[in-house]
Amino acid sequence: MSALTDVRMSIDATGMNPLLAEWNTPFNIAPFGLIRPEHFRPAIEHAIEIARKEIEEIKASADEPDFANTIEALEKAGELLNHITPVLFNLNSADTTPDLQAVIQDISPLLTNFSNDITLDTELFGKVKTVYEKQNSLKLNPEQLILLDRKYKGFIRGGAALADDQKEIFRAITVEMSTLSLKFEENVLFETNDFELLLSSEDELSGLPEGVREAAASMAKEKGKEGWLFTLHSPSYIPFMQYSDHRDLREKMFRAYARRAYRGNEHDNRELVVRLVDLRLQLALLLGYRDYATYALEERMASTPEKVTSFLHDLLVASRPAGMRDLSDIESFAKENGHTGLLERWDWAYFSEKLRMQRYNIDDEALRPYMPLEKVCEAVLGLATTLYGITFHENSEIPVYNDEVTAYEVHDGHKGIIAILLLDFHPRKGKSGGAWMTGFREQRTEEGMRILPVVSLVMNFTRSTPTRPSLLSHSEMNTFLHEFGHALHGMLSDCTYESLAGTNVKRDFVELPSQIMENWAWEKEWLDTWAAHYQTGEKIPEEILMKLKESLTYNEGYSCMRQLGFAMLDMAWHTLKEPFSGEIIVFEREAMSSAEILPPAEGTCMSVSFGHLFAGGYASGYYGYKWAEVLDADAFSLFRERGILDRETAASFRRNILERGGSREPDELFRAFRGREPSIDALIERSGFKNSDKR
């Protein structure tokens, strides 16, 4: 019986809360139905107390510091705390309530202070440093060396080498940063939920496909309203912008979306952006770095702001001709179809989709009938079976945090169950927008036994209606594949140490397993095996599949430039050398100007709702999406050479990438799979940039 179980059982006997009682549930998963917001603070306070005792035991040891009694002991300290906190943070993102939001604001400083107490502890750091300095004589294996390096650098980057007065400043900065990031996310969620567009006339629905209309009518009915209700959640917002013939309504929707947290109300994020940027700069300067990007990139593949800037510049040069061609094409098409004046941001998706339909006789909406969610889910899981030999078995006995969540056991032949997968597909009031993979438990090895990871995929897909099942667009199916790639990274992980397992890799490497999965979304060989009309059973016609593949490079120049603009904005905020004192919108437009091809929309702002930067951990890391595209395009080119369903190639990807987590350096892992350094050529070719002067 583990020490964690001993602690829980003794507490449970006194009638304490379910977070501290032994979880007598399948696979020791949190008993969500018993957990209430008020349970978290006492549970976390107790878990911190236990963790402090574990840290004190490390410090009190009279033995010479070594890898086992210091580095591994640190890795294992806080097991109870690490069991509880994922429940809190994941619920706050996927199924939150005002009570839970209040709790997390209350608890966040406790957790940040505890983390600081560890990294700012001079005596503890001394022991870690002793082990680090004698590493060459310890005969450590590669994973142990990585762990030692991460722990040591974690202390340095966590303020261990600061003077005592500086440590107090560091502590104050990090506590405030953690609190403000949570507030930023809450504000964006509130603003997203706060807007509704209720239409009452059939005329106002012009251009909208039947499925979109039906979903809007169903949403209105759910809220006790007459008509058709549209919101800023992706399944409602995106098709509205693509298909609504009413330019004034598209503008209204666009401005509502682009003005979230920029309306001068209590949920306005402008002050939070400025404060977070300034705090990050203070943190970097305190630790001896010239700016926050230099601090953050030290632990990334890109390594320096200069390397990132050069990468973004080179990709911008490569994509600009294609982007300008895309703009010219859309402008000409819009003019031919009666549009006068400038092409505005609320026009792009509309005319782009119509031109795509004309050019390829295919649009996102036309593919929905062939992609019912149930079949997509079966196909995506089946792809993992084909490539990696794993199978998925639904288990209704596994606790879930919401009735809409489905739980699966993940089996791997003779190895048995290797992971638990939770799937959460549809938008709710308490769920943040977008899509993400997360974990309720990370994989690790304990006393020779592999601890099962518990992985969760959270998405916001189109709901079913009274007459139609949930039908995904091609882009939604693509999102599923992307997030499922992250899930594979977590589920197939086979590392010794939790902090190196699964997606615990350098930020600009983490998107490789997710983005490589998107490649299958365009492959006839895979689509042919499952995609069929939900009513007739007819497969996607051959011509449509061919056109779909041809459309892979459609508007890729514009899309690439748009992503580069976001990355440039990120780098601009985090390469500041002085506290910010200007106007956010002026700064933002200047930062993104070289990648922008559409006129700005007055009264809107990107930064204040840019959750990746200010609530999602991608500060100085947004370039990583394009960086990983280089890796994924090059990696997938090997599948193209050998067959996109080739088990041997997949086995190599699993062995060298998915199972390794962060137990090796990313460049070493990539070379082990690809046999060489990554090349940008595959991305340039896939994106169509080599032929940007041609249709």
Residue positions annotated with a catalytic role = 483
Backbone angles phi, psi at 88, to 5 degrees: -65, -55
Nearest to 461 by CA among 450, 453, 447, 473: 473
Q: What distance, in Å, lies between the first and last C-alpha atoms of the chain?
A: 66
25: number of Cβ within 10 Å? 15
Q: Do 52 and 113 touch, CB atoms closer than 8 A?
A: no
Nearest to 498 by CA among 75, 153, 87, 86: 75
Backbone angles phi, psi at 259, to 5 degrees: -105, 10
Cα–Cα dist 199/197, whole Å: 6
Token pair of 592, please?
A: 């993104």
Token pair of 333, please?
A: 């098409």
- Residue type at 606? M
Q: Which residue has the tokens 């990746």?
A: 612
**Strands 454-458, 406-411: pairing kind:** unpaired
Q: What are the C-alpha distances in Å from 561 to residues 218, 346, 488, 554?
A: 37, 17, 29, 13
Cα–Cα dist 507/631, whole Å: 13
Mapped onto helix, strand or coil, the DSSP state of residue 488 is helix
DSSP H or E segment with residue 439: strand 436-441
- Residue type at 39? H
Q: Do 273 and 280 touch, CB atoms closer than 8 A?
A: no
Bridge partner residues of 197 (DSSP)? 230
E-strand stretches of 325-416 = 391-394, 406-411
Cα–Cα dist 331/334, whole Å: 5
Cα–Cα dist 120/113, whole Å: 10
For the chain, what is the radius of gyration of the CA atoms? 25
- DSSP single-letter state for residue 462: P
Token pair of 298, please?
A: 């030290």
449: number of Cβ within 10 Å? 8
